[in-house]
Amino acid sequence: MAGDLQFLLQVLLWGLYAGCIYILLATGLNLIFGVMKIVNFAHGQLLMIGAYVTFTFYAISGWNPYVLIAASFPILVLAGVTIERACFRPILGTGKLNEIFISIGLIYILENAAALLWTDEWREIHSPYESLAVTVAGVRFPVDYLIIIVLTVVTLCGLWAFLRKTRLGRAVRATSQNRNAAMLMGINVEKMDMLSFGIGAGLAGAAGTLWVVSGQVFNPYMGSIPAIKAFAIVIIGGLGSIPGAIAGGLIYGVVENFAILSLGAAWKDAISFLLLIIVLVIRPTGIFGESGE
Amino acid sequence: MKAELVSIALLLVILALFAGCTGEQASQGTNLKIGVVASLTGPASTTGKDVWQSAVLAADQINAKGGVFVKDLNRKVQIQLVQGDDASTREGGQTAVSRMIAQDNVDLLVGGFSSAVVSAHESIVADHGVPYIITGASSPIVTRRTDINTSYMFHHAPTTDASGSATTLFIGDTIRSAIDQKFGYPADRPLRLSVIYQDSPYGKGQLDAIKNTINASHLAMTVVSENAFTMGESDYRTILTGVKKADPDVVYVAAFLNEQTPLMNQARRDVGLDKIFIAVEPNDDPAYYSGIGRYGEYSIIQSRFSPYAIPGGSTAATVTSFISDYDAKFHGYPGMMGAATYEGVYIAAQAVENAGTTDKAKVRDALASLQMPQMVEAMQGQTISFSPDFRESSFSLDMEQLVWDDAVNQTRPKIVWPASLKERDFVLPDWFVPGKG
């Protein structure tokens, strides 16, 4: 009985870890959607770029890869700002089809550019803490996963403080809630678009760093599956809702891992999307979504 | 509307520019065109690069000696390789093979990685009757299926039946004896085996071979858990936690390089599985040794060619020469899939020379009756030939144990089975914990 409980707690830990990566990705996606009302299909590729930025700085400097989140986040913010200015701003409001084409095109461009820059071989990084684990009541907690969970919480708290406690953050929220009213109140909504896209991309970059230090392999084509899952999480949690992305990410990560346990790994994605369908049937706006949003 | 059109046009131009980044050896008049089916992009791209580069090395070596003599033309012709990137997908393989046959008019095809990908484009090959030397798919179905005409397909890779059976016999013989001896178990204690396999014809073929061998050879072995995973998966923590609960002695993993590397790391580092791991032969690649680091120590890898192990016996000289030539040309080490494809190009050249023509039906007949000395991979009877029933070549497989090497800060393989090739005995590590039923 105690063994079964330990076993379930261990699987729960893997679910929480997976949830952390999904949360960072989905929160960024939701922030972009909330403010600009565009769906960036290339969001997973930003995670991939974050992974490569971490890998490159690690190869050059040999620094602790966790510290390199301080490189991947700002570099991806800059990349996000550039993408918003160069690709999305010119076509904003010209129709959803244009936004879809641009973001799908970005998938191929970013993947091919990464393959040219870094080649398309699989890469990996070994964390300096990979041999450390804490065992509590028979459940093994590798130190890396505890750091990843803590870093995710710190990042989300930082985002919360920015959006709630700063003038700029309040302007981002105002733009998200009512773009026209925000404009009338003197907020530069284009600047808010740029900022939200930058932060969203930065969060994907941070997710990329955490992805590589957790022992996952990566290559230029690894972004699509995490992106699809992030979209599902955004819909489960509610479009434009950051608390929804957090709750959705945790639920998704845990459900996915318990699906592997009970039905087998082949059901991992099917069960997660079944959850998506159930949420949509019961509450079409998602868990934290508002009607009409 | 105008802005929309301009955006789309611009996007298409950029995509076309990036999509155009493919390779092909320069055409020089009438050549022997060999299409190389390789996963140059997508999850299996590391293996695909090895396959392509090894094919290039073989073609360059043959061309440097004047090329392939074709009796009908009464002269030697150069080999021209045509690149067919399957993008590691079934659809990509179909597109690449269709293009190479219909547009590039290749005389033969060589390569093909993953049974699932190869199975998907075989019908195109069958329809056009192009000789195809399959060097990277292991499921026996690739030449045994009956829904299409496979008579033009020749399987130069050990089948899952052969590799699964050899490995299961090794586990039942060598590993079981070592465990029983160290822990004082009675000889009839069944060895506890967990199987983690890719949900594909390849993975299922390995699982079937394991079970069939246990039954046919009456091995004292019990499969305590079996878990499938989807192709390309990178998170195995929950599966491995389930395996830990099943408490095996040995974990047999049928996974490709991009799957095996994270799985090994997660098993030893995250889940703390102190068991003997078995990796299947496609993983014997330099990237595997650098990827698994210390976590691969004492694990076993099936092999027929290793970049880092030179077997004793008749292939030693050719293996050394192949590795050295590859390193000189590409500044790295070849992997097993590369070795098979390197041989595949030589087999294709020999078949055309024997046929005296590039006529596809005659080349097919020449392949069927081929008798060629073994090259870098040890073959049964030291000869490369194809069986009359399913056109399969027969390899002599070996088992290697990974040993830590401080000089390179990585593990290196040492052949521990069979006795004729072995470099040292199998070692059960101190940290190994046997399963308790």
**Cβ–Cβ under 8 Å, residues A124 and B262:** yes
Domains: count for chain A: 1
| Together in a domain, B192 and B221 | yes
- B169 and B92, same domain (yes or no): no
Please give the pLDDT value at position A71.
Answer: 92
Mutation target among B270, B290, B410 for the A interface, most CBs of A within 10 A: B270
Does B116 fall in a domain? yes
In three-state form (DSSP H/G/I as H, E/B as E, the rest C), the secondary structure along chain B is CHHHHHHHHHHHHHHHHHHCCCCECCCCCCCEEEEEEECCCCCCHHHHHHHHHHHHHHHHHHHHCCCEEECCCCEEECEEEEEEECCCCHHHHHHHHHHHHHCCCCCEEEEEECHHHHHHHHHHHHHHCCCEEEEECCCCHHHHCCCCCCCCEEECCCCHHHHHHHHHHHHHHHHHHHHHHHHCCCCCCCEEEEEEEECCHHHHHHHHHHHHHHHHCCCCEEEEEEEEECCCCCCCHHHHHHHHHHCCCEEEEECCHHHHHHHHHHHHHHCCCCCEEEECHHHCCHHHHHHHHHHHCCCEEEECCCCCCCCCCCCHHHHHHHHHHHHHHHCCCCCHHHHHHHHHHHHHHHHHHHHCCCCHHHHHHHHHCCCEECCCCCEHHHEECCCCCCCECCECCEEEEEEEECCCCEEEEEEEECCCCCCCCCCCCCCCCCCCC
Residue B42 located in a structural domain = yes
The range of the structural domain enclosing residue B368 comes to: 30-158+318-384
Contact A88, A99 (CB under 8 A): yes
Least confident of A158-162, B82-86, B135-139, B163-167: B135-139
CB B283, CB B310: distance < 8 Å: no
The pLDDT tens digits for B402-423 are 999 999 999 999 999 988 788 8
The whole domain housing A214 covers 11-132+141-282
Contact B4 A140 (CB under 8 A): no
Rounded to the nearest 5°, which phi and psi values hold at B135? -115, -5
For residues B150 and B62, state if they share a domain.
Answer: yes
Task: Tell me what pLDDT residue B121 has.
Answer: 96
Give the model's pLDDT for residue A124: 86
pLDDT in tens, B243-301: 999 999 999 999 988 899 999 999 998 899 999 999 998 888 888 998 898 999 999 99
Q: Looking at beta carbons, which residues of chain B come within 8 Å of A105?
A: 11, 14-15
- Which residue among B11, B227, B269 places its CB closest to the CB of A264? B227
Per-residue pLDDT tens over the stretch A156-176:
999 999 999 999 999 999 999
Token duo for residue B112: 């093909």
Where does the pLDDT of residue B29 fall: very low under 50, low under 70, confident under 90, or very high at 90 and above? very low
Burial track A58-82 (b if 16+ CB lie within 10 A, e otherwise)? beeeeeebbebbebbbebbbebbbe
Residue A95 inside a domain? The answer is yes
The residue-averaged pLDDT of A206-215 equals: 91
Shared domain for B79 and B138, answered yes or no, is yes
Give SS3 for A216: coil
B126 & B52 share domain: yes
Residues in chain A with CB shorter than 8 Å from the CB of B285 are none
B85 and B207 assigned to the same domain: no
* B338 and B403 share one domain: no
CA distance B384 to B364: 15
Q: B262 and A112 in contact by Cβ < 8 A?
A: no
Which whole number is the average pLDDT over B125-134?
Answer: 97
Residue A110 lies in a domain: yes
pLDDT number for residue A293:
39
Residues B332 and B270 in one domain: no
Predicted confidence (pLDDT) at residue B8 exceeds the cutoff of 60: no
The answer to whether residue B431 is domain-embedded is no
d(CA A194, CA A159): 16
- Supply the CATH number for residue B226's domain: 3.40.50.2300
How many domains is chain B built from?
2
In the prediction, which pLDDT does B1 show? 47
Residues B106 and B38 in one domain: yes
Is A288 part of a structural domain of the chain?
no
Per-residue pLDDT tens digits for A188-198 = 999 999 999 99
| Same domain, residue pair B257 and B303 | yes
Determine the distance in angstroms separating the CA of B341 from the nearest CA of chain A, rounded to an integer: 19
* pLDDT score for B378: 87
Q: Is the pLDDT assigned to residue B26 strictly greater than 60?
A: no
A to B CB pairs, distance under 8 Å: 125
Judge contact between B306 and B50, C-beta under 8 A: no
Closest residue in A to B238 (Cα) is A11
Q: Least CA distance to A220: which residue of chain B?
A: B42
Q: Look at residue A76 in the predicted model and tell me its pLDDT.
A: 97
| Residue B378 covered by a domain | yes
The reported pLDDT for the residue numbered A238 is: 87
> Is A292 inside a domain boundary?
no
From chain A, pick out residues whose CB is under 8 angstroms from the CB of B239.
260, 265
Report chain B's mean pLDDT, rounded to a whole number: 90
Contact list, A112 vs chain B (CB under 8 Å): 18-19, 21
Across the interface, whether the CB atoms of A265 and B230 are under 8 A apart is answered yes
Contacts of A18 in chain B (CB under 8 A): 235
Cβ contact A130–B229 (<8 Å): no
Angle formed by the axes of helices A43-61 and A2-36, nearest 10°: 110
With cut-offs at 50, 70 and 90, classify the pLDDT of residue B175: very high
Is a pLDDT exceeding 50 seen at residue B13?
Answer: no
**A202: part of which helix (H) or strand (E)?**
helix A189-213
**Which residue of A1, A7, A122 is the best one to mutate when testing the B interface, meaning the one whose CB has the most B CBs within 10 A?**
A122
Quick one: B408 and B270 in the same domain? yes
Residue from B5, B10, B11, B21 to probe the interface with A (highest A Cβ count within 10 Å): B11
Contact B370, B347 (CB under 8 A): yes
| In-domain check, residue A244 | yes
CB contact under 8 A, B199 and A266: yes
Asked if residue B130 lies in contact with residue B101, where contact means CB atoms within 8 angstroms, the answer is: yes
Closest to B41 (Cβ–Cβ): which among A126, A221, A261? A221
* Residue matched to tokens 């981002």: A172
Half-sphere exposure of B145 (CA within 13 A, CB side): 20
Tell me whether residue A121 is in a domain. yes
Span of A37-41, A154-158, A259-263, B309-313 with lowest mean pLDDT: B309-313
CA distance A166 to chain B (A): 36
Selected residue with higher pLDDT from A269 and A14: A14
Average pLDDT of A172-191?
A: 93
pLDDT-wise least confident of A71-80, A133-142, B181-190 = A133-142
| Per-residue confidence (pLDDT) for residue B328, from 0 to 100 | 96
Mean pLDDT of B50-56: 96
> Model ipTM?
0.83
Are B11 and A94 within 8 A, CB to CB? Answer: no
With cut-offs at 50, 70 and 90, classify the pLDDT of residue B28.
Answer: very low
Beta carbons of B4 and A217 less than 8 Å apart: no
* Subunit contact A90:B261, Cβ cutoff 8 A: no
Q: Is the pLDDT of residue B195 over 90?
A: yes
Residues B219 and B264 in one domain: yes
pLDDT at B44: 81
Is the confidence at residue B5, as pLDDT, over 50? no
- Residue B4 vs residue B155, higher pLDDT: B155
Q: Which two tokens stand for residue A199?
A: 């932060």
Q: Determine whether the interchain pair B18/A269 forms a contact, defined as Cβ–Cβ distance below 8 Å.
A: no
- Are B227 and A217 in contact (CB < 8 Å)? no
The predicted structure's pLDDT at residue B7: 54
Q: What is the CATH number of the domain that holds A29?
A: 1.10.3470
CB contact under 8 A, B41 and A120: yes
pLDDT range class, residue A240, cuts 50, 70, 90: confident
Q: Above 70 in pLDDT, residue B353?
A: yes
What pLDDT digit, counting tens, does each position of A248-291 carry? 899 888 988 888 888 888 888 888 788 888 888 888 888 887 65
Distances (CA, A) of B79 to A169, B49, B71, B344, B408: 64, 19, 15, 13, 37
In a domain, A291, yes or no: no
User: Which of A120, A213, A255, A256 should be substituted to probe chain B, the one whose Cβ sees the most B Cβ atoms within 10 Å?
Assistant: A120
Maximum Cα–Cα distance across chain B: 82
- Chain B CB contacts of A215 below 8 Å: 262, 265-266, 269-270
Q: Is B201 inside a domain boundary? A: yes
* Nearest CB partner across the interface for A121, out of B45, B242, B262: B45
* Distant-in-sequence, close-in-space partners of B145: CB < 8 Å, separation ≥ 6: B119, B122
Q: Is the pLDDT of residue B203 over 60?
A: yes
Question: Whole-prediction pTM value?
Answer: 0.80
Q: What is the mean pLDDT of residues A203-232?
A: 90
Q: B262–A216: do the CB atoms touch at under 8 Å? A: yes
Say if CB B269 and CB A131 are below 8 A apart: yes
Nearest to A69 by CA among A224, A228, A214: A214
On chain A, the residues whose CB falls within 8 A of the CB of B40 are 120
Mean residue pLDDT across chain A: 90
How confident is the model at residue B51, as a pLDDT?
Answer: 95
Nearest-angstrom CA–CA distance, B253 and B411: 18
